[in-house]
Chains A and B, each alone.
Chain A
Amino acid sequence: MPEGELLGVFALTWQAAVMLGLGGLLIYLGIARQVEPVLLVPIGMGIILANIPLGGLTEAGGFLAVLKKAGIDTELFPLLIFIGVGAMIDFGSLLERPYTVFLGAAAQFGIFGTFFLAYFLGDGGLRLFDFSFKDAVSIGIIGSADGPTSIYVATTLGSKYAASIVVAAYSYMALVPIIQPPIMRALTTEAERRLAMPARTKKVSRRTRVVFPIVTVLVVGLIAPKATPLIGTLMFGNLLREAGVLERLSQAAQNEMANIVTILLGLTVGGMMEARDFLRPETIMIYIMGVVAFAAGTAAGLLLGKLMYVASGKRINPLIGAAGISAFPMCARVVQKVGLEANPHNHLLMHAAGANTAGQIASVVAGGAALVLVPFFA
């Protein structure tokens, strides 16, 4: 063994030290502050493991390299996660209020608006950053507020910034309660926020709940075929939940499988954050773009919410539009909280949950649409 490989401390660069500190910060935020610990602790540990000099975990055959090859490069991990997510989601709120689908659709402007900005700053305009068309699309997908979709699209498009994009997507999902409320207050009036929406008593049948995932796969898959893996796994998980005779599989998807894949995915994403790739001006810009993406998606949902507020004769609280971005169920909870601040008797949670689950489907459709369109435009 060469002399220099005995002690990693001699090979420690300042960049690696910064990354070790970043890993420690994420673990601190996860454990001490309880900010998305399920994600941030494995990611933080992955960063530390990947940046210990001479550790070899990210070299060919290393633990993290094997995980990346098996689970990220093949897009296996995000799809398995989606089975678990599908099994966790109750689409009942959406089925009771189909119109909330449009709020989810509007919020996807965060993806496309951010793409436009990233491409303008990169190869399409100012050339300040090394952002190709595919990189810009991958950066925009942060606006889906959906980790698995971000991983899927960024890796399918082969973006060189896939690791940064995935980390930004997951980080900002944890920051939804901080990012969204100021935008919600800025774009709505006090009177709009105070509007109470009645709790609907209309229920959907079990048969509708069972048929819905199958119909959704057919509709989305036939229009945006590239979204089929994502929507297919999401809706398969939901079918396990709603079938009523697969409780054991549904519980396994929600718990055992989702937990195991979350551990592996978190470690792998953290392991992709090596100092040489991560500490670049482009990465910092990607993080700034992530905020833009979340803000633009939130604003677009709110603006359509305001349109619905007027069109419905002031019966729809525009705040629920903010839940159109897919970070589930955090956005719906944020809407509930901001609504309660304006009116202590205003319970928007179920309405926002409709928009939120719509955002989950819409983000997958948007990701699929992007993948379908890129070959025609890039």
Chain B
Amino acid sequence: MLKATWFVLAGMGIVFATLSLLVLMMSALNRWLPPEQAPARDEGQPGTRGARTTRAGHA
């Protein structure tokens, strides 16, 4: 049963390690690829274009 115990520990270890990496990837995706801004109503107002360009640069 010792090898069964190691199997359980190794199996759960792989599951948690893989999914931890996935959490990191998801967090990174959410950070690097934020939701697109809805079409700005104040397209012509000063300042808004600069902000949009900055966000696009992150992508």
Contact = CB atoms under 8 A, between A and B. Distances in A.
A113 B8 contact: yes
Interface string B16-41: 11111111011101100111100000
A349 B33 CA distance: 26
A105 B16 CA distance: 6
B18 A223 contact: yes
Contacts of B35: 203-205
Contacts of A204: 29-30, 35
A98 B23 contact: yes
Contacts of A211: 29, 33
Contact of B1 (A99, A101, A124): A124
A280 interface: no
A372 interface: yes
B4 interface: yes
B37 to A, nearest CB: 10
B47 to A, nearest CB: 23
B38 to A, nearest CB: 11
Contact of B29 (A101, A215, A377): A215
B11 A369 contact: yes
Q: Among the interface residues B14, B19, B23, B34, which one has the most CB atoms of the partner chain A within 10 A?
A: B19
Contact of A361 (B4, B16, B22): B22
A6 to B, nearest CB: 52
Contact of B23 (A99, A207, A365, A366): A99
A48 B36 CA distance: 55
A216 B10 CA distance: 21
Interface in A198-224: 203-208, 211-212, 215-216, 219-220, 223-224
Interface residues of A, number: 46
Contacts of B3: 377
B30 A208 contact: yes
Given A115-B7, A208-B33, A370-B11, A219 B18 contact: yes
A112 B11 contact: yes
A205 B12 CA distance: 31
A207 B33 contact: yes
Contact of A219 (B1, B4, B11, B22): B22
B25 A109 contact: no
A95 interface: yes
Contact of B19 (A212, A358, A370, A377): A358
Contacts of B6: 377
Contacts of A377: 3-4, 6-7
A206 B36 contact: yes
Contacts of A362: 15, 19
B59 interface: yes
Nearest to B10: A373
Contacts of B8: 112-113, 115-116
A112 B12 contact: yes
B15 A369 contact: yes
Given A120-B4, A212-B29, A105 B19 contact: yes
B5 interface: yes
A67 interface: no
Given A98-B23, A109-B12, A119-B1, A365 B7 contact: no
A211 B27 CA distance: 13
A182 interface: no
B22 A216 contact: yes
Given A102-B20, A112-B11, 6 more contacts: A108-B12, A119-B1, A125-B1, A205-B35, A205-B36, A369-B18
13 contacts: A98-B26, A102-B16, A102-B19, A102-B20, A108-B11, A124-B1, A212-B26, A212-B29, A223-B21, A358-B19, A362-B15, A369-B15, A369-B18
